[in-house]
Structure 1
Amino acid sequence: MRRANAGRRIPGPGGRVREEDEAAVSGARPVPGRRGRQAVHADSGKRLGEAHPRQEGPVDLRLVPPALAAWATAALTLDAAPGLVGGLVAGCLAAAVILLVVRRDRARNVPVMPGRPRSAGPRVTLGAVDGAGTTGRRRVWPRVTVAASLLCAAAAAASAGLHGADLRRGPVPTLAGRYASVTAEVELTSDPRLTRPRVRGDHVMPDSVMIEAEVRRVETADRTVVATRTPVLLIVDAGSRGGGGGRRAGPHVREESGGGRGPGGGEGSGGAKGPEGRPEALWLALLPSTRLRVAGRLAPALARGDRFAAVLRVRDGAAPSAVGRPSAAQRAAGRLREGLRVATDGLPADARALLPGLVVGDTSRITPELDEAFRETDLAHTLAVSGSNLTIILALLLGPPGLAQQVERRGLAPRLGVPLRATAVLGGALTLGFVVVCRPDPSVLRAAACGAIVLLALATGRRRSLVPALATAVLLLVLYDPWLARSYGFLLSVLATGALLTLAPRWSAALRGRRVPPRLAEALAAAGAAQALCAPVVAVLSARVSLVAVPCNLLVEFAVAPATVLGFAVLATAPVAMPVAEALAWCAGWPARWIAGVARTGAALPGAAIDWPGSWAGALLLAVVTVVAVMFGRRLSRHPWLCAVCGVLLLLVVVRPPPLTRVLTGWPPPGWRLAMCDVGQGDATVLAAGDGAGVVVDAGPDPALVDRCLHRLGITRVPLVVLTHFHADHVAGLPGVLRGREVGAVETTGFEEPVEQARFVRKEARARNVPVVRAVAGERRRVGALEWEVLWPPPLPAPEPEGPNDASVTLLVRSAGLRMLLLGDLEPPAQRALSRSPAAALVRGVDVLKVAHHGSAYQDPDLIRAVAPRLALISCGADNPYGHPAPSTVAALRAGGAVVLRTDRDGSLAIVGGGGEGGGGGGELRVTRD
């Protein structure tokens, strides 16, 4: 058995080996003597001892500058002119040759000391040399490193220039500039995916299927056919998702070449079973490498510097027409992925959605709500294919960290009697299978490369050689795919891997030196180091900083490995033994549900994240703050009581108990009666109904925004949710209202249009066992001191409203003497009908008016004069494209003596006060802004 940290042993006088000589030759610090090493081994609890990062010598950084040079050059030259790229390549090559020639000439003139062989020469390290005849080191220009950097920059510029030229070559870019309609033959290069639902105005944008593809042949309107190979983004407008739930359908694709089965060949299309015949289901069933014939309109790329030459949009929603089947490897991978989804069909919703994402990066079942929770807690990396997936599987094969090359290795391979070389071959085969099953796109290749590097660190224990390995991986990946140089995902992967290789070992050793248990120290160091380096980039992407990222990552760390291992077992057994796969999936569902629960709980905390400038200046500021926090933390760790105080303060910032928040911020104000939440271009109003209870009128367009507002108001019970009508800017946020709260019922209008949104409301309510009832004019309700009456819509039989807006539920609310009128989105026809109804006498001279339809110009001036509110509230989004609120409406309200407040400028608003004796008005009315 070799001793840990053993270097070359040089006999001293009398043939004895001196420890000082051993340390000097290895270039490391002198290590403790035999007794000291035995003590270190005993303290570690391991037979081989435990390598200390400070005993491994300086980190070899010679490959880092070439890798960074290639990275930066590729990022800058992808869309550069060919002449500029050619000049840059020639200049870098010329400069590198000059540097190498000058260094060779100077090396020939190095003097030889007496008694020292010429071949020994100077011992060169990065940026330093032990020159002959000198007593120390003197700094010299690192010519070899600079020359290597120039050569790598030249190679990166050439590769990026060629890839960039692909976007400008051929007829596709020209046709896209003319927005031409074409018929094209395309080959898919990625899995289809549904876009996330987006609310635009009063409706939800139709679902679209997005697929990365290459145009192989294009036929223009004049019947000209041109062969090409141009990358495009294929967007299929598939219409509403309806009951599909975003799930994939089976292989029901029409084949044109041979009359056989579709591109899945009936052998596993890679999609879960869904409603047959729906266009999006058919498109989502397609596999990479499938060839299609599509008709659509070309358009320029979505953004400058994009990796696609154009966008090919298919608008008719027709079924895909296949002219070529996918490859055998993709069909095999599709069968495995399909088996995984089928085996997990019987699991609870979160586990069913999460397991395919953990194993193969299939996020087709992840709901927007769950996805947002993972983003808020910086756990999104668990939903994507990452190097940790591969690391876990290979570590299971090779054995525990640090033992893969030792006799005592305890992995699965040695237990089965597999030799070390055969184990290495098996590991390579697993890596190749991982790439195929998870799709060989750049993100998977990046994950495989970074995962292999982390595995190398775990297996060999020689972290000193792993920074060059990471630099080599970055260099090769950037040369292979220069578009990675502009990928934020690639940047985050490299930063996280670099943190695990450099910062984490030292932080772990420091924590163990302060008597932190080894396992906990390693977990804390890994999570903290990755967060420290990645947080500035995440801030650029999301304009926020997560305060719960480290604890959430720690809480899920022990569950990720079993969920991943069991998930891969399900993947392997599903095609041959589905009952066994379902049993394994049931076992894997428990850690998967834990991971999802941690994400949901962390995201629900009001202080889970803080807003941060979403720019590179903000990233630099966050990096400085992180460095200061780390330096302060090192000093603070010597004082346990101060650490405890800081921990309690951080907990209070994250949890934000409503009583404490009210004292510190004044929000919500004591005795508030009505709160209008700032939810962007939409409506969400809360009526106070007692301690921790509130009646919610409309839910806005975004679940996260309304959930955050309710939490800041301290609302944990909702006796009733009133949805005035079914437009998306009033109902799309309903999941945020229902999240983690006790809800009595959902009350809606009887005019159920748009139909898709009405179905959405019923589906969400049914999923949480919340009854849905219908509001009718004349209905009166009371909760504590809060009472209200429904004024509109009138009961049947009544003329059918002209649209959903005119069917809005209108409420007259009384609370502590205040009279408040909530008009929903009523437009002039319904407003005039209301002013002529028996309820007209009730709405005269109210205290507070929630202005209809976000303050649009469509208002009945007679109703505004009759209502004559003291305070008018308008809910609208900043810089909305509709011009809300209309200047004419604001002027009319002010002319009637009302104070006008709007959420786009004033933020969330809370009303405090009373209406005077008998509720007739005149009492004090105060407004607090959040």
Structure 2
Amino acid sequence: MSRVPDEASPRAEPEPERSATGDTRRTGPMDLRLVPPALAAWGTAALTLDAPVAWTAGIAAGCLAGGILLLLMRGPDRFARPDRFARPGRPGRPGRPWRVGRLGWACGPFRWACGPFRWARAAVAAMLLCAAAAAVSAGLHGADVRRGPVPELARRFATVTAEVEVSGDPWLSRPRVRGDHAAPVAVLARAELRSVEEADGSRVRTRTPVLMIVDSDVPAPGGGTEGRGNTEPPPAAAAQPRTGGRAAWLGLLPSTRLRVGGRLAPALTGGDRTAAVLRVRGRPGPRVVAGPSGPQRLAGRLRAGLREATENLPEDARALLPGLVVGDTSRITPELEQAFQETDLAHTLAVSGSNLTVLLALLIGPPGLAQQVERRGLAPRLGLSLRATALLAGALTLGFVVVCRPDPSVLRAAACGTVALLALATGRRRSLVPALATAVLLLVLYDPWLARSYGFLLSVLATGALLVLAPGWSEALRRRRVPPRLAEALAAAAAAQAVCAPVVAVLSARVSLVAVPCNLLAEVAVAPATVLGFAALATAPLAMPVAKVAAWCAGWPAGWIAGVARAGAALPGAGIDWPGSWPGALALAAVTVAVVLAGRRLLRHPGWCGLLGVLVVLLVTRPVPLTRVITGWPPPGWRYAVCDVGQGDATVLAAGEGAGVVVDAGPDPALVDDCLRRLGITRVPLLLLTHFHADHVAGLPGVLRGRSVAAIETTGFAEPADQAESVRRQAAERHISVTTAVAGEERRTGPLTWRVLWPPPRSPRLSIPSGAPVPPARPNPVFEPEGPDFEPEGPNDASVALLVRTGGLRLLLLGDLEPPAQQALLRSPAAADLAGVDVLKVAHHGSAYQDPELIHLAAPRVALVSAGADNPYGHPAPATVAALRAGGAAVLRTDRDGALAVTGTGGSSGEIRVTSEN
């Protein structure tokens, strides 16, 4: 017998529907009353963080006054006094009472607040009051960053001795290529200045947030190891010389206090919570003056135990599992991180609400059953009451925040969990949307800087999509006979992607086409990897063998997630470029809405859905034959291709079906990998690196990604030393032999034959067999050429130059040779073979430093220049282009024409055709 609600009761509600699993769902509308106040606080905080004090005070005062005014208003039917107030009568019509409220004088200009729309009065008042609170909080936080002596010292670039407290985990800066050199990788850490002492001895105490930059030559902080946690240098640091100093800086735990010397500088970006940048110097030597707090030491030991437990796992699982569990990404290689970004799986590397949700669900069971007799989870099996369960879950949430560090996503997850736990403890009905809005409001008021955090925005958007859109989409899929669990997973992944994609496009200028299937495939492994990973984390301090067993079990799902990311990123059509701006985000949002509306209609026609699915698969996989027919790239029978990799060099010589000899790797792994993928290169018989400048070798991981590389050949001039060491280390890790190219060497593979023209031989010749230990680099070796003595002035003059023959074509590849080496090449015996080549890869990106006699002797029919658009060097130089054209060459350049491919037979009567990808 069903219960009949009392219709006279204003709180009467229909009976919630209960599914077979015991889940309850409200049939009424979604409770969105807290959403406008949360959004008002969020927007106000974002606008007023760096606003002038007068503007912030005015906004706060105005919103506060408006909110109080609306709360004091009462409806016109309350407290009416017709005996004291009456409207004047008109001829033939008696006067009527004028019924006003307690603030009746205000109802004139604000009749909407006293009339039919008085229901909105409380909502608008709440928005104004929350905006006022956010303005006050943001104004105080912004003023706190700008106050004190530190900003003025930073404007003067003052040299100081400071006491700082580390406030977050240190991390490495991203490796960047500037021209022909790679910018040094530095250790970065957010810290708080506690005291500042200038050169004149004046000292002042303060609490100012700064960004601390520690270069590779700064020694490790002295004073003991109590402030150090992880002492293992992450893989990203491997490109630089491995020093104990860098590992020690990376191992510092939050709350550690240091005394350092350095120079202050203004913050790199405006509107940030950082008041200045402190670049630490080696003198005076940095030292630890106080160790970290007890909770941070405990968190550090737990994280170190998890790293130890995962030490013997396969490479991907070893790197990924600590990131999944506690957000420790120190082992994530740039290559793996790039794969996660291209598949929109990067959220799995940042600890978020999903991690806490998995743990809470393990404890209390599904949320829909939390207050039911048939509730599941570990708590009822342990005999815990509802309130005891809430207390235990609260302690679990607190420990989760401490171990995982209070990052924005972690704080948001903890806040949502706290609100839900309070509702559970008080026995009240919970609503997740109000919980999310409350979490956003509290977090923005507590830390207004979150209002400008992209990570916080993505976290809230994803959670909101799961709560608002996913249930309806899941129900629609179930109505069309999609299995329930698959419908829920598909709806969740699609909803999160649809809402977050515009923001991701702003950050990466790219839209992933494989995000939904990759998230679906990875989702099945996230929960077991998280639970087993936390088990390893908890047992490591007590029983390391047990922790290693749990970590070994967790390594399987973690490896699956990494494999999904790598496979998705390797697809040729994994993503498309998109304008990385807010107008571009709005355009993507409009496209998404159109796709969703069209998808609702297409679901009624299975045939059209199948055809669309096939088209999407073809778009993502892009089979080479089909792509060649549609785009014309690469052209059939291509012999030589110049990749568009920006300001750098990466070229490919066709060596058979799916094979190519790669000459140089460019500055960016993603760009060279994309070029080789579109050319269909899966096998590299030889990778030749003409010299070790970063714009030729920094993209090496992109060439090695998903391809078999038989051998690497380089110049013998091992400078810059850090790049040469990086190449040798990466080759040794993959058991690829490394040899040195010398003039006179002749080789052949497939239809290709080539002869090394430069550099001259030296003794002894370096040859590193596969798997052998790599000898240290020998800087500044002296060449012993045939003929006049020549010593290179730098890496450019030691570039490997080749004369290639393929399909009747003669190609001259000059690397980055400059006039001294070009003139020496003209004096060498090889000069006799340089006359009248078909194709010239112009040296040094077409710079002005060319030898006219070499250009005149080569007399190429086609000259190809690899240069970046709008590069600061002016490459290619107008004089060089003019000289080439004066000699009868057709000049093509990647900065204007994009990637280039050469076809033809060559010779005086042969035809040469150059196809541009654009």
| Superposition TM-score, scaled by structure 2 size | 0.90
Further displaced range: 754-763 or 478-487 = 754-763
> Which residues in structure 2 correspond to 1:349-428 (within 5 Å)?
349-428=315-394
Quote the residue 1:667 is aligned against.
Answer: 633
Quote the residue 1:925 is aligned against.
Answer: 913
Distance 2:62 2:33 in 1: 22
Is residue 860 of structure 2 the alignment partner of residue 882 of structure 1?
no
Instruction: Measure how far apart 1:761 and its partner are.
Output: 1.4
User: Match for 2:229 among 269, 285, 303?
Assistant: 269
Further displaced range: 767-776 or 546-555 = 767-776
Quote the residue 2:27 is aligned against.
Answer: 56
Secondary structure of the corresponding residue to residue 639 of structure 2: strand
Distance 1:399 1:68 in 2: 31
Instruction: Measure how far apart 1:404 and its partner are.
Output: 2.0
> Which residues in structure 2 correspond to 1:784-823 (within 5 Å)?
784-796=750-762, 797-798=784-785, 799-823=790-814
After superposition, give the CA deviation of every residue in 1:172-204 in whole Å (9 maximum; x if it has no partner): 000111111111111111011111211112222
Secondary structure of the corresponding residue to residue 207 of structure 1: coil
Quote the residue 1:82 is aligned against.
Answer: 53
Q: 1:8 to 1:217 in 2, by over 3 A?
A: farther
Is residue 71 of structure 2 the alignment partner of residue 100 of structure 1?
yes
Instruction: Measure how far apart 1:901 and its partner are.
Output: 1.3
Secondary structure of the corresponding residue to residue 927 of structure 1: strand
Does structure 2 conserve the Cα–Cα contact (< 8 Å) formed by 1:290 and 1:326? yes
After superposition, give the CA deviation of every residue in 1:880-920 in whole Å (9 maximum; x if it has no partner): 2222222222222122222211111111011111213xxx4
Distance 1:110 1:468 in 2: 40
Code of the aligned partner of 1:269: G
User: Match for 1:637 among 591, 603, 608?
Assistant: 603
Code of the aligned partner of 1:254: G
Instruction: Measure how far apart 1:700 and its partner are.
Output: 0.6
User: Match for 1:162 among 140, 154, 158?
Assistant: 140
Distance 2:332 2:546 in 1: 25
Does structure 1 conserve the Cα–Cα contact (< 8 Å) formed by 2:424 and 2:430? no
Secondary structure of the corresponding residue to residue 732 of structure 2: helix
Code of the aligned partner of 1:841: A
Instruction: Measure how far apart 1:824 and its partner are.
Output: 0.5
Quote the residue 2:643 is aligned against.
Answer: 677
Code of the aligned partner of 1:286: L
After superposition, give the CA deviation of every residue in 1:858-877 in whole Å (9 maximum; x if it has no partner): 21111111111111111111
Code of the aligned partner of 1:550: V
Q: 1:202 to 1:221 in 2, by over 3 A?
A: same
Distance 1:462 1:380 in 2: 36
Quote the residue 1:313 is aligned against.
Answer: 279
Quote the residue 1:873 is aligned against.
Answer: 864
Distance 2:856 2:646 in 1: 28
After superposition, give the CA deviation of every residue in 1:499-521 in whole Å (9 maximum; x if it has no partner): 11111111111111111111111
Is residue 622 of structure 2 the alignment partner of residue 656 of structure 1?
yes
Quote the residue 1:329 is aligned against.
Answer: 295
Secondary structure of the corresponding residue to residue 580 of structure 1: helix
Secondary structure of the corresponding residue to residue 142 of structure 1: helix
Is residue 5 of structure 2 the alignment partner of residue 9 of structure 1?
yes
Further displaced range: 787-796 or 315-324 = 315-324
Does structure 1 conserve the Cα–Cα contact (< 8 Å) formed by 2:113 and 2:121? no
Distance 1:565 1:893 in 2: 65
Code of the aligned partner of 2:310: T
Q: 1:273 to 1:695 in 2, by over 3 A?
A: closer
Q: 1:733 to 1:277 in 2, by over 3 A?
A: closer
> Which residues in structure 2 correspond to 1:138-149 (within 5 Å)?
139-140=117-118, 142-149=120-127
Distance 1:744 1:436 in 2: 47
User: Match for 2:188 among 200, 210, 217?
Assistant: 210
Instruction: Measure how far apart 1:140 and its partner are.
Output: 5.0
Q: 1:26 to 1:636 in 2, by over 3 A?
A: farther
Distance 2:113 2:151 in 1: 58
Distance 1:855 1:702 in 2: 20
Instruction: Measure how far apart 1:756 and its partner are.
Output: 1.8
Code of the aligned partner of 1:65: P
Q: 1:401 to 1:63 in 2, by over 3 A?
A: closer
Quote the residue 1:751 is aligned against.
Answer: 717
Is residue 38 of structure 2 the alignment partner of residue 67 of structure 1?
yes
User: Between Structure 1 and Structure 2, how many residues are aligned?
Assistant: 859
Instruction: Measure how far apart 1:262 and its partner are.
Output: 2.8
User: Match for 2:468 among 477, 484, 502?
Assistant: 502
Code of the aligned partner of 2:28: G
Distance 1:451 1:664 in 2: 52
After superposition, give the CA deviation of every residue in 1:807-842 in whole Å (9 maximum; x if it has no partner): 111111111211110001111111001111111111
Instruction: Measure how far apart 1:922 and its partner are.
Output: 4.9
User: Match for 2:679 among 704, 709, 713?
Assistant: 713
Instruction: Measure how far apart 1:463 and its partner are.
Output: 9.6
Code of the aligned partner of 2:40: A
Instruction: Measure how far apart 1:770 and its partner are.
Output: 1.9
After superposition, give the CA deviation of every residue in 1:7-51 in whole Å (9 maximum; x if it has no partner): 8733xxxxxxxxxx59996455x98xxxxx7xxx7xx543x2x44
Code of the aligned partner of 2:66: A
Does structure 1 conserve the Cα–Cα contact (< 8 Å) formed by 2:166 and 2:256? yes
Does structure 2 conserve the Cα–Cα contact (< 8 Å) formed by 1:540 and 1:614? yes
Distance 1:424 1:449 in 2: 14
Does structure 1 conserve the Cα–Cα contact (< 8 Å) formed by 2:393 and 2:421? no
Quote the residue 1:125 is aligned against.
Answer: none
Instruction: Measure how far apart 1:789 and its partner are.
Output: 1.2
Does structure 1 conserve the Cα–Cα contact (< 8 Å) formed by 2:665 and 2:696? yes
Is residue 668 of structure 2 the alignment partner of residue 702 of structure 1?
yes
Code of the aligned partner of 1:153: A
Distance 1:733 1:383 in 2: 24
Is residue 171 of structure 2 the alignment partner of residue 193 of structure 1?
yes
Code of the aligned partner of 2:883: A
Is residue 130 of structure 2 the alignment partner of residue 152 of structure 1?
yes
Distance 1:317 1:817 in 2: 63
Q: 1:507 to 1:771 in 2, by over 3 A?
A: same
Quote the residue 1:690 is aligned against.
Answer: 656
After superposition, give the CA deviation of every residue in 1:127-165 in whole Å (9 maximum; x if it has no partner): xx9999xxxx96556111111111111110010100010
After superposition, give the CA deviation of every residue in 1:743-773 in whole Å (9 maximum; x if it has no partner): 2211111222222222211222222222222
Code of the aligned partner of 1:67: A
Secondary structure of the corresponding residue to residue 368 of structure 2: coil
Secondary structure of the corresponding residue to residue 303 of structure 1: coil
Does structure 2 conserve the Cα–Cα contact (< 8 Å) formed by 1:388 and 1:451? no
Distance 1:899 1:635 in 2: 53
Code of the aligned partner of 2:140: L
Quote the residue 2:238 is aligned against.
Answer: none
User: Match for 1:577 among 543, 558, 561?
Assistant: 543
After superposition, give the CA deviation of every residue in 1:386-433 in whole Å (9 maximum; x if it has no partner): 111111111111113422222222211222222222111110000000
User: Match for 1:91 among 55, 62, 65?
Assistant: 62
Instruction: Measure how far apart 1:271 and its partner are.
Output: 3.9
Q: 1:513 to 1:319 in 2, by over 3 A?
A: farther
The Cα RMSD (Å) is 2.7
Instruction: Measure how far apart 1:925 and its partner are.
Output: 3.1
Does structure 1 conserve the Cα–Cα contact (< 8 Å) formed by 2:700 and 2:727? yes
| Superposition TM-score, scaled by structure 1 size | 0.88
Q: 1:564 to 1:750 in 2, by over 3 A?
A: same
> Which residues in structure 2 correspond to 1:396-545 (within 5 Å)?
396-450=362-416, 465-545=431-511
Distance 1:461 1:101 in 2: 32
Secondary structure of the corresponding residue to residue 837 of structure 2: coil
User: Match for 1:849 among 840, 845, 850?
Assistant: 840
Code of the aligned partner of 2:162: A
Further displaced range: 687-696 or 435-444 = 435-444
Code of the aligned partner of 1:234: M
Instruction: Measure how far apart 1:104 and its partner are.
Output: 5.4
Q: 1:673 to 1:407 in 2, by over 3 A?
A: same
